[in-house]
């Protein structure tokens, strides 16, 4: 099956108003349809932040075995950076906290700080997978600390520019507002980035093995760290769902990627480890469409 057939199958599956990109394998043409305007990708941001952490390890600024608190003043003690990446640090979450939800609804353009996010998050025990947006806020603060740069500047230099993701950004306050007046910085380093489906397909050059390796790629050791994963519970179409360094992985389907959702949009990008076939989409939230439920089976079928 060729690129155009995959694009047609993807376009038929997605709701009106979607933007998407796909390719049928390594070296294949990328097919694009829908808007090329950068849109919020929410939790897909976690892959970008994780890649930024792997870059910092390659630069000698930190080690994955370091305690989070040793690299980010004020962060909770008792967990490693590696645990934060895989949501096994016990740092809790805030996304269902009633005070947080009320604040988002009443003040959509006025996001909370890390201190407020931390106060709204109930900590758990390290060593058990519990999805933690809060943990990625701490990773973002850590990257700012070790780089002496704003997170947007750091991700641009270390992730977006090397991967040729020219339309992707981690926003500043003045560039974080959506058309509805919602600031994606309510999601912070756990989900504030804007991107396009085409750019999302470019991300793989940072973290996957190719022959020859991409000049943009992190080191072989960090590529292995990216895919070192823990088991998670997830419904079909997942068959053996796991979570690595900011990435969902299925070892039976041989896929990796991430989804995201928030006010106005849902997004997802998935890539085949074996063939390089890849699909990415950003869809209107109002459609009720869950991209993972279609993209994962579509990519599995394509193989």
pLDDT digits (tens, 9 = 90+) for 264-284: 999 999 999 988 999 999 999
**Separation CA 68–CA 28 (nearest Å):** 40
Q: What domains sit in the chain, N to C, each tagged with a CATH number?
A: 3-302 (3.40.710.10)
Sign of torsion, CA 23 29 34 38? positive
Q: Mean pLDDT in the chain?
A: 94
pLDDT of residue 302: 54
23: Cβ contacts below 8 Å, ≥ 6 apart: 3, 6, 29, 30, 31, 201, 276, 277, 278
- Which pTM value belongs to this model? 0.96
> pLDDT per residue over 93-104, tens digit each?
999 999 999 999
Give 115's contacts (C-beta < 8 A, 6+ positions apart). Answer: none
């Amino acid at each position: 099956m060729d690129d155009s057939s995959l694009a047609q199958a993807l376009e038929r599956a997605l709701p009106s108003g979607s933007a998407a990109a796909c390719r049928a394998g390594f070296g294949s043409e990328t097919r694009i349809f829908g808007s090329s305007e950068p849109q919020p990708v929410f939790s897909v941001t976690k892959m970008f932040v994780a890649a930024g952490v792997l870059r910092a390890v390659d630069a000698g600024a930190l080690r994955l075995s370091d305690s989070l608190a040793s690299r980010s003043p004020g962060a909770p003690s008792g967990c490693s950076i590696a645990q934060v990446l895989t949501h096994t640090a016990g740092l809790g979450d805030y996304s269902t906290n009633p005070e947080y939800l009320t604040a988002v609804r009443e003040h959509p353009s006025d996001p909370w700080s890390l201190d407020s996010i931390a106060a709204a998050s109930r900590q758990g025990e390290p060593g058990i997978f519990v999805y933690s947006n809060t943990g990625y806020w701490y990773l973002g603060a850590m990257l700012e600390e070790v780089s002496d740069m704003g997170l947007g500047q750091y991700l641009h230099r270390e992730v977006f520019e090397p991967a040729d993701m020219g339309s992707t950004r981690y926003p500043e306050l003045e560039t974080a507002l959506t058309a509805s007046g919602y600031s994606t910085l309510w999601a912070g380093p756990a989900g504030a980035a804007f991107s396009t489906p085409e750019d999302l397909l470019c991300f793989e050059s940072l973290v996957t093995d190719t022959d020859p390796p991409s000049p943009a790629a992190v080191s072989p050791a960090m590529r292995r760290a990216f895919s070192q994963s823990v088991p998670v519970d997830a419904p079909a179409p997942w068959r053996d769902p796991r979570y690595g360094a900011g990435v969902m992985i299925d070892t039976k389907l041989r896929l990796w990627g991430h989804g995201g959702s928030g006010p106005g949009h849902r997004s997802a990008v998935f890539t085949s480890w074996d063939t390089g076939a890849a699909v990415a989409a950003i869809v209107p939230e109002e459609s009720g469409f869950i991209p993972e439920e279609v993209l994962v089976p579509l990519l599995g079928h394509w193989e």
